[in-house]
Amino acid sequence: MATKTTKIAQLGHPILKENAKAVEDISSNQCQSLISEMMRTVEQAGGVGIAAPQVFNSVRIFIMCSKPNARYPDAPLMEPTAIINPEIIEVSTDKEKGWEGCLSVPSIRGLVPRHKQIKVKYYDRLGQQHHVVYSDFIARVFQHEMDHLDGLTFVDRVESVQDLVSESYWYEHYATSA
């Protein structure tokens, strides 16, 4: 049985500018179905994360699923994880610029400053609370997806338009050194 491919909201769609609402009932069929749909969608799209607003649901859920791929060859491998009602509790003072792309902003890459380490709190799909410290690439993914819940994309975070490039240019000039 073939699964349908979920459409991903593209830059300019109003839902990507909304502040997403908290999830009230994690165990509901609606919430669990959304999480499953997001897991399928991010896998089919080859992403390392996706937020509910990107699949047209303005609620505070995102999936992190880091794995090495053509865009992020050094990405650590992690199990796909549903992050529900996340909060960033603490951030490191040191930031680092790194290349980011987005399923909602195809064909563009941006050099985005992010905190190198973050302490976060969130609920998983079973409703269990987690307190975790993430660093480097995983911290970057968390902050990128968290931005989607707050109505931002990585384009809002670049310090200058000079830090934006086409994905084809990025592959040609930066991919091997990224």
Structural domains of the chain, with CATH: 14-174 (3.90.45.10)
Cα 66 from Cα 90, distance rounded (Å): 22
Cα 164 from Cα 178, distance rounded (Å): 15
Q: Is the pLDDT of residue 158 over 80?
A: yes
CB 105 within 8 A of CB 95: no
Q: Is the pLDDT of residue 70 over 90?
A: no
Cα 97 from Cα 110, distance rounded (Å): 9
- Residue 23 pLDDT level (bands cut at 50, 70, 90): very high
What's the rounded mean pLDDT across residues 12-21?
A: 98
Catalytic residue flag (residue 172): no
The encoded tokens of residue 131 equal 């307190």
Q: What is the pLDDT of residue 174?
A: 85
Residue 40 burial (C-beta neighbours within 10 Å; 0-12, 13-18, 19+) = middle
Q: Which of 167, 160, 148 is nearest to 51 (CA)?
A: 148
CB 35 within 8 A of CB 42: no
Give the chain's end-to-end CA distance (angstroms, integer): 38
> Is 31 among the annotated ligand-binding positions?
no
Length of the chain: 178
Residue 140, SS3 per DSSP: helix
Report yes or no on whether pTM surpasses 0.75: yes
> Is 102 among the annotated ligand-binding positions?
yes
Radius of gyration of the chain (CA): 16
Mean pLDDT across the chain: 94
What's the rounded mean pLDDT across residues 143-150?
A: 98
How many Cα neighbours within 13 Å face the side chain of 54? Answer: 27
Catalytic residue among 24, 96, 145, 167: 145
pLDDT tens-place string over residues 104-133: 999 999 999 999 999 999 999 999 999 999
